[in-house]
A and B are shown apart, each in its own frame.
Chain A
Amino acid sequence: MEAINHLFMSFQIALDPMNLFLCFCGALVGTLVGVLPGLGPAASISLLLPLSFALTPVQAIILLSGIYYGSMYGGSTTSILVNIPGEAASVVTCLDGYQMARKGRAGPALGIAAIGSFIAGTLSVALLMLLSPPLAKFALKFGPPEFVSLSFLGLTLVTYLSSGSMVKALIMACVGLLLGFIGVDVVTGVERYTLKIPVLLDGVGLVPAVMGLFGISEVLLNLEEAYQKREILDGKIEHLMPTRQDMKESAGPIARGSILGFFLGVIPGGGAVLASFISYAMEKKMSRTPETFGKGNIRGVAGPESANNAGAAGAFVPLLTLGIPCNAVIAILMGGLMIHGVEVGPRLLTDRPEIFWGVVGSMYLGNIMLLVINLPLIGIWVKILKVRYALLFPMILFFCLIGAYTTGNTVYDIYVMVVFGVAGFLMKKYGYEPAPLVLALVIGPIMERAFRQSLIISGGSFSIFMTKPLSALFVIAAVFILLSPLIFKKRPNL
């Protein structure tokens, strides 16, 4: 009964005309940035973040989360038609999606991607709705020590699951934490590491940092490569609806992808990207004809595309119940909510229920909107794909400039962004991933406050993290993950 009441409340919030409009805007922008390679959801959410300051927190998160799950839909279009992933979670869709398109089956590939995304999206919102309240209730028992250990565990998981060297990912997490310490210390009022630069008094701005790391650096990297001529499959895309045989083959992958994607999304460091990779590997392993994968097997599109949408929704669980961001995009959403003055954590569901239920309701409706935006209107997105990069990148740079400037109406944020842009460029060249850094930057200040509160409670003794049973469990799990590369020699390579 309670669930039905909550569902009713969700739709009541989501059906408010303004919210409905913002949800549509989010879905539309999400599809656009998903389609365009070189502009991912992380950069575009931070672009729109300053614009959202004029909105209420509920309206803001409805808009911004729409961009996130919308980009999961859009990304597949580019993968299938151009063989370039529109964003990271659609990398594996290239393998079979593009091959299907080359065989003249672009229509069904796009169709099954959208249908799978819709089913997975809707199913995982339902799971989000059912699992979050009990989890948040449980997490209400967490005190500062538990929160510190849990964040520590979250960060280690993120570094463990990131691709490439784990040492480098851990370095990124440490750097993010350290950058988070810059600014005036809230407890003592002491200036820390500001070098007397006024803009750093409030700390390193999340928006300029993210736009530098994901927006500017991406452009700088792309400029290095001579523009590759993108080959877009010409001709009309016909038969968007998959055949009955296609649907029958895809049913299993969609169902498995949805469940797998959701639970991988909940794990810090998991999320949409990992979900799509694992779903593809699983479908290939389970198939009786694994040799057809990579040659245009529809299961190779249906599974990963469902998994990445489910993963996107799953990632909202730890954000809205624990206040732990699982990936870079969610970290930016969390940063955005905090700028809006919302305290993100276990108390969110009881203190600001309208935020949680508003997101849930808007996700149900957003998924329906996305189905419409992506299937009948596919022609528009194909046209947008044909825009030259030489015209596109100046606009991306310009939007980043405006985004950085409008966060605090100061040009100094532009300098911060440029510094992070160059840093992001170098990090890529030297084999470092920005995601753990961004996560640590967001969670660092909250973690530090809890850390100092814990030590005040214990009178300065570190044993408090081990004497509380839950906290001890988190710490042991984190230490186990940190040491596991030494024990097992090799970590699953993703």
Chain B
Amino acid sequence: MKNRDLVSSIFWLAFGAVFAVGGLQLGLVRQGIPGPGSLPFIVGLALIGLSLILLFQVWRSKPAPGEKIFLEWITFHKFALSLAALVAYALLLKTLGFTLTTFLFLFFVLRFVGREKWVTAFVFSISAALVSYTLFTSLQVNLPAGRLGF
């Protein structure tokens, strides 16, 4: 974990610093009582301290043979496609409505991430969309209808 710990400890160091500085700006003390920045400042400092300890441990340890600093991607496209599908769902939900977006999302993920057959993906996604729509409306969950009206 040596190289990876190096990356993450530096990340947390920065993370802690951002919050500690932010805490200073928010104000540590207001009219004699602890202000909104007090505890964030303290915890931010603690995080900086812990990252330094981790950094010290990295410096003392030996790297594992063949370890790379960043991740080795085995199947990056699956990761990227799933994330894209999730974000697309959020983007399209209000415009296309719940049922259509759900169908498109499931179909895309099943076909292109899960590598199901076209027919399987189609049948599965359309039935899942309809069943979930019926279920959620009967439970009175508020779902967006979209511009098309369903």
Please list the residues of chain A having a beta carbon within 8 angstroms of any beta carbon in chain B: 50-51, 54, 165, 167-168, 170-171, 174-175, 177-178, 181, 185, 187-188, 190, 192-193, 216, 219-220, 223-226, 390-391, 393-395, 397-398, 401-402, 405-406, 409, 411-412, 414-415, 417-418, 421-422, 425-426, 429-432, 448, 451-452, 455-456, 459-460
A414 and B90 contact, Cβ closer than 8 Å, known pairs A193-B22, A460-B33: yes
A391 to B12, CA, bound (A): 37
A175 and B12 contact, Cβ closer than 8 Å, known pairs A224-B79, A394-B110, A395-B128: yes
Contact of B43 among A178, A405, A415 (CB under 8 A): A178
Q: Are A390 and B114 in contact (CB under 8 A)?
A: yes
Q: Are B82 and A223 in contact (CB under 8 A)?
A: yes
A216 to B142, CA, bound (A): 23
Chain B residue at minimal CB-CB distance from A414: B90
A406 to B93, CA, bound (A): 12
A192 to B39, CA, bound (A): 12
Q: Are B105 and A401 in contact (CB under 8 A)?
A: yes
A448 to B90, CA, bound (A): 33
List of A residues within 8 angstroms of B40 by Cβ:
178, 181, 192-193
List of B residues within 8 angstroms of A398 by Cβ:
102, 105-106, 128, 132
Q: Are A171 and B51 in contact (CB under 8 A)?
A: yes
A421 to B79, CA, bound (A): 11
Interface size class of B (residues with CB under 8 A): 35 or more
B34 within 8 A of A: yes
Q: Are A429 and B83 in contact (CB under 8 A)?
A: no
List of A residues within 8 angstroms of B140 by Cβ:
54
A188 and B22 contact, Cβ closer than 8 Å, known pairs A178-B43, A398-B132, A431-B4: no
Instruction: Provide the B26-46 mask, 1 if CB < 8 A to any CB of A, else 0.
Output: 100110111111111001101
A305 to B66, CA, bound (A): 40
Interchain residue pairs A-B with the least CB separation, the first 8: A390-B114, A414-B90, A174-B47, A185-B36, A394-B109, A411-B90, A223-B78, A430-B8
Chain B residue at minimal CB-CB distance from A429: B71
List of A residues within 8 angstroms of B5 by Cβ:
430-431
Contact of B54 among A171, A181, A402, A418 (CB under 8 A): A171
Q: Are B83 and A402 in contact (CB under 8 A)?
A: no
Contact of A192 among B16, B36, B91 (CB under 8 A): B36
A178 to B15, CA, bound (A): 9
Tell me what chain A mostly uses at the interface: helix, strand, loop, or mixed: helix
B130 within 8 A of A: no
A193 to B44, CA, bound (A): 13
Residues of B62-85 contacting chain A, CB below 8 A? 71, 74-75, 78-79, 82-83, 85
Contact of A391 among B35, B36, B54, B124 (CB under 8 A): B124
- A3 CB, min distance to chain B CBs, angstroms: 38
List of B residues within 8 angstroms of A181 by Cβ:
19, 39-40, 43
B148 within 8 A of A: no
A220 and B26 contact, Cβ closer than 8 Å, known pairs A406-B141, A455-B34: no
Contact of A390 among B4, B86, B87, B116 (CB under 8 A): B116
Contact of A409 among B8, B30, B110, B142 (CB under 8 A): B142
Q: Are B38 and A452 in contact (CB under 8 A)?
A: yes
Kindly name the residue among B4, B78, B89, B139 whose own CB sees the greatest number of chain A CB atoms within 10 A. Answer: B89
A224 to B76, CA, bound (A): 8
- A75 CB, min distance to chain B CBs, angstroms: 25
Beyond A54-B140, A178-B16, 16 additional pairs, beta carbon < 8 A? A168-B54, A174-B43, A181-B43, A192-B36, A192-B40, A390-B114, A391-B114, A393-B109, A394-B114, A398-B132, A401-B105, A418-B87, A421-B83, A431-B8, A451-B38, A456-B33
List of B residues within 8 angstroms of A190 by Cβ:
26, 36
- A38 CB, min distance to chain B CBs, angstroms: 13
Instruction: Provide the B106-123 mask, 1 if CB < 8 A to any CB of A, else 0.
Output: 100110011110000000
A175 and B15 contact, Cβ closer than 8 Å, known pairs A181-B40, A223-B79, A397-B86: yes
B50 within 8 A of A: yes
Q: Are B86 and A411 in contact (CB under 8 A)?
A: no
List of A residues within 8 angstroms of B125 by Cβ:
394
